[in-house]
Amino acid sequence: MSDMLKTGATIGILGGGQLGRMLSVAASRLGFRTHIFEPGAHPPAADVAHQVTTAPYEDAAALGAFAAAVDVITYEFENIPTTALDLLEPLRPIRPGREALRISQDRITEKDFLTGLGLKTAPYAAVDDAASLEAAIAAVGVPAILKTRRFGYDGKGQSRLMAATDAPRALADMAGSPAILEGFVDFQYEVSVIGARNTRGDVACYDPGENVHRDGILHRTTVPSRLSAALRMDAVLLTARILNALDYVGVMGVELFVTPQGLIVNEIAPRVHNSGHWTQNGCTIDQFEQHIRAVAGWPLGDGSRHADVVMENLIGADMDRVPDLAREPATALHLYGKAEVKAGRKMGHINRIVTPKG
């Protein structure tokens, strides 16, 4: 692969949270430097980055200087303003590419894309006002969830409708933003596949993990999941179909509902994913290095699993448990260095090695 980035090259990362932090660490293992672009002060990724630009995404001069200082651009979150991407795109390769961002930034576009590939999603309909919400309820049924089409994460920008009479309140919760009504899926459990694709089109997927959420935030991922061998194969193949359709370069998280009728795609995230953190202690090459390898034009690494792992997020006051967790055998701590503990804030995670895989 003659286009492999060389030792000493710099990878630009849009966003300086914990994902950017762990991407920086992975980049350092391959001899790369990172340059973080982040509007907020004291981003967690800055502690392990070669350089940091603190500027808003509207600062064209800062974006231009950032692009000039890096060899390739990637990102740790999908909600990057389009104007910033328009400015960066002619200057340096953005990986994963614009098409993946365009699709994942809008829940309607994403579901249209997925169903267009022949994949199943929850029933859905676009909602802009009271009239379209009424029509959506008629089409999708209740219970259902009304979500903003854009900029939602960790359960934010969502409102449940248990009955049609909840419509006015739910619509008010959207505060005028374009929305999507999604029907409830009666699922047994949720899994996610962390897939990767490189510039040559090679695809590799990690063993699917089983996810449990609390208050709309991922609480725990367990590998192996309860998936049958047949469903595991389905999950990997549909992930590959998504990656190939987007000519994708990088790591993607694909959340799936497991139902008696098969797998239903919940959502896709064009980046490393919280439910893939277990790979740090379950695989030789984790999702962060896999992403860096892909965006750097490298061969993908060996993502086979060598251990059973339970990943648990440390949210807010869970940080009080750190002294005890540090004493646990076969438990790896991963803390993000965030100074201020806030309720609902992701402060770190642990990977418990449940049993060595024989």
CB of 145 to its own copies, least distance (A): 35
Contact between 308 and 355 under an 8 Å Cβ cutoff? The reply is yes
- Please say which residue, 229 or 324, places its beta carbon nearer to its own copies: 324
**Would the annotation count 182 as a binding residue?**
yes
CB of 357 to its own copies, least distance (A): 7
- Please say which residue, 4 or 130, places its beta carbon nearer to its own copies: 4
**Amino acid sitting at position 347:** M
**Would the annotation count 147 as a binding residue?**
yes
**Amino acid sitting at position 236:** V
- Please say which residue, 188 or 340, places its beta carbon nearer to its own copies: 340
CB of 184 to its own copies, least distance (A): 38
Question: Which residues face 223 on adjacent strands?
Answer: 309
> How many beta carbons lie within 10 A of that of residue 204, not counting itself?
23
> Phi-psi bin for 344: left (phi > 0), alpha (psi -120 to 50), beta?
left
CB of 246 to its own copies, least distance (A): 24
Which residues fall within 8 angstroms of residue 159, CB to CB, at 6 or more apart?
145, 146, 147, 166, 169, 170, 173, 174
Instruction: Give the three-state DSSP class for 223.
Output: strand
**Would the annotation count 154 as a binding residue?**
yes
- Please say which residue, 21 or 273, places its beta carbon nearer to its own copies: 21
**Would the annotation count 156 as a binding residue?**
yes
**Would the annotation count 77 as a binding residue?**
no
- Please say which residue, 178 or 337, places its beta carbon nearer to its own copies: 337
Closest alpha carbon to 299 in 197, 225, 209, 154: 197
Dihedral pair phi/psi, residue 245, rounded to 5°? -65, -30
**Would the annotation count 310 as a binding residue?**
no
- Please say which residue, 90 or 356, places its beta carbon nearer to its own copies: 356
d(Cα 311, Cα 223) in Å, to the nearest integer?
Answer: 9
**Would the annotation count 309 as a binding residue?**
no
CB of 271 to its own copies, least distance (A): 19
- Please say which residue, 10 or 266, places its beta carbon nearer to its own copies: 10
CB of 67 to its own copies, least distance (A): 20
d(Cα 149, Cα 142) in Å, to the nearest integer?
Answer: 19
Q: Which residues bind its own copies (CB under 8 A)?
A: 1, 4, 7-8, 21, 24-25, 28-34, 46-50, 281, 284-285, 293, 298-299, 301-302, 304, 306-307, 319, 322-323, 326-339, 347-348, 351, 353, 356-358
**Amino acid sitting at position 272:** V
Dihedral pair phi/psi, residue 163, rounded to 5°? -145, 165
C-alpha of 216 from chain center: 15
**Would the annotation count 358 as a binding residue?**
no
**Would the annotation count 266 as a binding residue?**
yes
Contact between 357 and 306 under an 8 Å Cβ cutoff? The reply is yes
d(Cα 269, Cα 251) in Å, to the nearest integer?
Answer: 9
CB of 319 to its own copies, least distance (A): 7
Annotated binding site: 107, 147, 152-158, 182-185, 190, 213, 266-267
Annotated binding site for ATP: 107, 147, 152-158, 182-185, 190, 213, 266-267
